[in-house]
Amino acid sequence: MDAMTNNAPVLEVRGLIKRFGGLTAVKNLSFDLRAGEIFGLIGPNGSGKSTAMKSVMGIERPTGGEVIFQGENVAGLPAHKIARKGFGMVFQHSRPLNRQTVLENIMVALLPDSLFMLFPDRALTERAKWIAERVGLGAVMGRRPPTLPFADLRRLELAKAIARDPKVVLVDEPFAGLTLAEVGTFSELIRSFRDEGRAVMLVDHNVKSVAALVDRVLAMYLGEEIVTGRADEVMRNETVRRVYLGGALEISARPETSFKDKVPLLQVENVSVHYGKAQALENVSIHVHEGEFVSVVGLNGAGKTTLFNTISGFLPYSGEIAHGGRKLRGTSAARIARGGIVQCPESRELFGEMTVRENLDLGGQHLTEEVRAKQIAWLFELFPILQQRQGQLAQTLSGGEQQMLAIGRALMMQPKILILDEPTLGLAPVILELLSKALEKLRQTTSITVLLGEQNVTFALPHADRVYVLEHARIVWEGDPGRFAAEAGEGYL
């Protein structure tokens, strides 16, 4: 660390701007990176950290600003040219050469740019073997990538990134899909890059793992810097906590003993899910009583959407899921929805070229005309703006109005269990208040059971009778909202 503080920055980012049309994703961002330092970018979903990383990497062309590497402004250069100058890049998604062995993949990364030197020599082969051993792939260097476990595929990406001895290593989502034990191993690998004198910058949604690893961290929100400093200082910053937690925690829970069903309406027991070789859920167990409002809170990437998609029948899994005591394994997503488990997805999935009323009628197509009319009338009381907009195309609605329409369409199916996945994502405070009032009305006037997934705990807790905290694919805490405020709130970040 002493060497780090005495060295001039190896990388300087000054006034970085990235616009996508009328959206400014990164606003006047500045930071520097020194040799022998691990620097982290954190922020909630949509804060601009990944866009900032891609703009430095050359994957996205910055709209403005400078990226100065060893005195040269490389902003706007394509990624391959930036890599040649001394950058190693570890991408979130592995794209190895599947017909080549691990060793051959590393050798390709080592090959010079000249076609006249295409064939490797003995020294290059020995160097590739050393790198394989260096990242823990020595035992599998003769195997091909499709035969490797997910963690070894991530190791291969690290090996390729350091193959040409870069001065700066940029790592995008290093912990995505890894188990807790694997996170520890990868953290040690990344620390070893720092110990070799490399400058390391990483972005990951696993805030705790990033905070435990970095020397400094920059917290972002809506494309701008909130604060930069030591991880423990940044995580205590009031603005950072408000951005992640949303503000003061308010609760109005009903005790679990007040729900009279002997068997919970929904039971998820020891459910595990993999995306290929990446583990997205690990032995997750939750239960929800009839009429209960349960919130599953967790930062982006924790596994909330995977949990909900698994319950809804979209993903294969191990373990058991039961609705009303009946196991759902082998039941199609359509039958699960018709049986009363209805999900309102994070992506909303509206039919943009159909009107508001047509979208709602699709949700209620299974109802008789009389029942559908009553359901529509009830829904318009819940969301009056939808009645005013019912002749308008869905794609012309504001983000908040689209979210209300997505929830309304789900409610038209008369669900027994309504699953809401990140309903507050990207919404203005005035819309959050309207959604909050609508949820409270559902809670007070209907028997609907709600399973809510949120990273904004200030929105989630007032509507929760019980809370689960999902962290890195596992349930790490369960209890009532009052206990969350006292026990888990401090450690949520």
Greatest distance between any 2 Cα atoms in the chain: 80
Specify which residues 69 forms β-bridges with: 11, 72
CB atoms within 10 A of CB 491: 11
Sheet holding 293-297, edge to edge: 341-344, 417-421, 449-454, 293-297, 466-471, 474-479
Q: Which residues contact 122 (CB under 8 A, 6 or more apart)?
A: none
Domain range list for the chain: 2-245, 256-488
CB atoms within 10 A of CB 2: 7
CB atoms within 10 A of CB 488: 19
SS3 per-residue string spanning the chain:
CHHHHHCCCCEEEEEEEEEECCEEEEEEEEEEECCCEEEEEECCCCCCHHHHHHHHHCCCCCCEEEEEECCEECCCCCHHHHHHCCEEEECCCCCCCCCCCHHHHHHHHHCCCCHHHCCCCHHHHHHHHHHHHHCCCHHHCCCCHHHCCHHHHHHHHHHHHHCCCCCEEEEECCCCCCCHHHHHHHHHHHHHHHHCCCEEEEECCCHHHHHHHCCEEEEEECCEEEEEECHHHHHHCHHHHHHHHCCCCCCCCCCHHHCCCCCCCEEEEEEEEEECCEEEEEEEEEEECCCCEEEEECCCCCCHHHHHHHHCCCCCCEEEEEECCEECCCCCHHHHHHCCEEEECCCCCCCCCCEHHHHHHHHCCCCCHHHHHHHHHHHHHHCHHHHHCCCCEHHHCCHHHHHHHHHHHHHCCCCCEEEEECCCCCCCHHHHHHHHHHHHHHHHHCCCEEEEEECCHHHHHHHCCEEEEEECCEEEEEECHHHHHHHHCCCCC
- Phi then psi for residue 30, to 5 deg, are -135, 135
How many angstroms separate the CA atoms of 309 and 301, rounded?
A: 14
Which CATH number is correct for 256-488, 3.40.50.300, 3.40.640.10, 3.50.50.60, 3.40.47.10?
3.40.50.300
How many angstroms separate the CA atoms of 311 and 306, rounded?
A: 9
Joined tokens for residue 408 = 């309304």
Identical fold between 2-245 and 256-488: yes
Beta strand 87-90 with 168-172 is parallel
pLDDT at 2: 44
Joined tokens for residue 253 = 């829970």
Specify which residues 469 forms β-bridges with: 297, 477
pLDDT at 48: 85
pLDDT at 38: 93
**pLDDT tens, residue order, the chain (493 aa):** 444 445 689 999 999 999 988 778 899 999 999 999 999 988 876 678 888 989 998 989 999 999 999 889 999 999 888 988 899 888 777 788 888 899 989 888 887 654 444 455 788 888 889 999 988 999 999 999 888 888 888 889 889 888 888 899 998 888 776 777 788 888 888 999 899 899 999 887 667 778 888 999 998 888 889 899 988 888 778 777 766 655 555 667 788 888 888 889 999 999 999 988 788 899 999 999 999 999 999 877 788 999 999 999 999 999 999 999 999 999 999 999 999 999 998 888 888 889 999 999 998 888 888 999 999 999 999 988 899 989 989 888 877 888 889 999 999 999 999 999 988 876 666 777 888 888 888 888 889 999 999 887 878 888 899 999 998 889 999 998 888 866 765 555 5
Half-sphere exposure of 126 (CA within 13 A, CB side): 3
Specify which residues 386 forms β-bridges with: none
pLDDT at 448: 93
Contacts 24+ apart (CB under 8 A), 43-47: 43/219, 43/220, 43/221, 43/226, 43/243, 44/221, 44/243, 44/244, 44/299, 44/300, 44/455, 45/205, 45/300, 45/425, 45/455, 46/222, 46/425, 46/426, 47/220, 47/221, 47/222, 47/223, 47/243
User: What architecture is the 2-245 domain classified under in CATH?
Assistant: 3-Layer(aba) Sandwich (3.40)
With tokens 């190791």, the residue in question is: 155
Joined tokens for residue 80 = 């391959």
CB atoms within 10 A of CB 439: 23
pLDDT at 426: 66
How many angstroms separate the CA atoms of 321 and 309, rounded?
A: 12
How many angstroms separate the CA atoms of 372 and 383, rounded?
A: 16
Half-sphere exposure of 301 (CA within 13 A, CB side): 22
The total number of residues written for the chain in this structure: 493
How many angstroms separate the CA atoms of 412 and 308, rounded?
A: 19
